[in-house]
Amino acid sequence: MQMTRKLAIVKSIQVAPRLFSTINSASDSANIGWKNDVPGFPEEHNTTLSMAALRQLSSSGSLPGQQKDSFRPTALWVQEPLNLVDYDYRAIAARIGPVKDTFYGYTWDVRTVPDAINAAYTSNDLGFHTELLYFEQPPHIQLLHCVQSASSGGASVFADAFNAAVDLFHMDVDAFDTLATVPVNYHYNHPDSNVYRTTKPEHLTDHALSALNNKVDWWHQAASKFNALLQRSECLYERKMRPGECVLFNNTRILHSRGAFDMADIGKPRWLRGTYVDKDPYFSKLRVLQHKFR
């Protein structure tokens, strides 16, 4: 027997049903036709869902059997002592997934070279930065392994940009909005070898630069506020890495910097090695481990 009953729980779902069908009491299910169906489906196409599935869809946003990620929510930093163990960065990366190949190679070295074309290969202070922002998909996890530390200087400092962004949102939502919406161009421009360009946030016209120029004063004021929040000492983690130590961090959340260091370590300069792991293999590994230890 069928009885007509309005499916109130469907109302909250952001789709456009063409009709509310009847519920089949025997099977406790409903047929739903869609107003804006996927192109190619016939007019009579409909979807049959059990009431249990609809209730779960309404409460959780996913159907039974559809796994939703339930990783620990993003946490802000707290300062805690770290117990670091001597590991090889390649072994750690391999336990997560395939490393990301870039024009720097699967792995790379950070040490001073003469006539460096990249600031990383000098002994100068390096301000806070995210790596490879000129890529459409910058690396997610960065691993840095200390082979040799400088005798003087060269400490690494890490800042939580997410923390600063949350605080900026609460303190000055217009500044937050400016940084979140005004497009900025990033490029690596070496025409003989590599030319990479992106715009973030993505801008759908060719006029990203003029869009920034039109708001450049606002953008600089907003960026200054963000930078001040970023540089708060309680939000920084500084460590002069010792040989054998390896740091892993989310490259798209954690900005990193390096203090200037002494070039006088003849034959024993500061030397870090590193590699990247992309977001997909990282989250895949999390899901696999979650499944394994659930």
Residues that bind Fe ion (CB under 5 A): 131
Residue 222 or 277: the one with the smaller Cβ distance to Fe ion is 277
Q: How far is the CB of 13 from Fe ion (least distance, A)?
A: 44
Residue 131 or 245: the one with the smaller Cβ distance to Fe ion is 131
Residue 104 or 176: the one with the smaller Cβ distance to Fe ion is 104
Q: Residue 250: CB partners within 8 Å, gap ≥ 6?
A: 140, 141
Name the residue number minimizing CB distance to Fe ion: 131
Cα 238 to the chain's mean position, in Å? 22
Residue among 177, 284, 278, 187 nearest 225 (CA): 177
Determine phi and psi for 174, rounding to 5 degrees. -65, -40
Residue 131 or 167: the one with the smaller Cβ distance to Fe ion is 131
Q: How far is the CB of 246 from Fe ion (least distance, A)?
A: 15
Q: How far is the CB of 154 from Fe ion (least distance, A)?
A: 13
Determine phi and psi for 214, rounding to 5 degrees. -65, -20
Residue 167 or 245: the one with the smaller Cβ distance to Fe ion is 245
Q: Residue 242: CB partners within 8 Å, gap ≥ 6?
A: 146, 149
Q: How far is the CB of 256 from Fe ion (least distance, A)?
A: 6
Residue 226 or 276: the one with the smaller Cβ distance to Fe ion is 276
**CA distance readout (Å), 282 to 14, 66, 85, 97, 142:** 30, 20, 21, 7, 11
Q: How far is the CB of 88 from Fe ion (least distance, A)?
A: 20
What does the DSSP 8-state code read for residue 152?
S
Q: How far is the CB of 95 from Fe ion (least distance, A)?
A: 22
Residue 225 or 258: the one with the smaller Cβ distance to Fe ion is 258
Q: Residue 239 CB: number of other CB atoms within 10 A?
A: 14
Residue among 270, 265, 260, 258 nearest 124 (CA): 260
What's the one-letter identity of residue 89?
A: Y
Instruction: Write out the two tokens for 96.
Output: 């997560």
Q: How far is the CB of 149 from Fe ion (least distance, A)?
A: 16
Q: Are 20 and 7 in contact (CB under 8 A)?
A: yes
Q: How far apart are CA 51 and CA 28, in angstroms?
A: 6
Residue 49 or 157: the one with the smaller Cβ distance to Fe ion is 157
> Buried b vs exposed e over 159-177: b needs ≥16 C-beta within 10 Å?
bbbbbbbebbeeebeebbe
Q: How far is the CB of 130 from Fe ion (least distance, A)?
A: 8
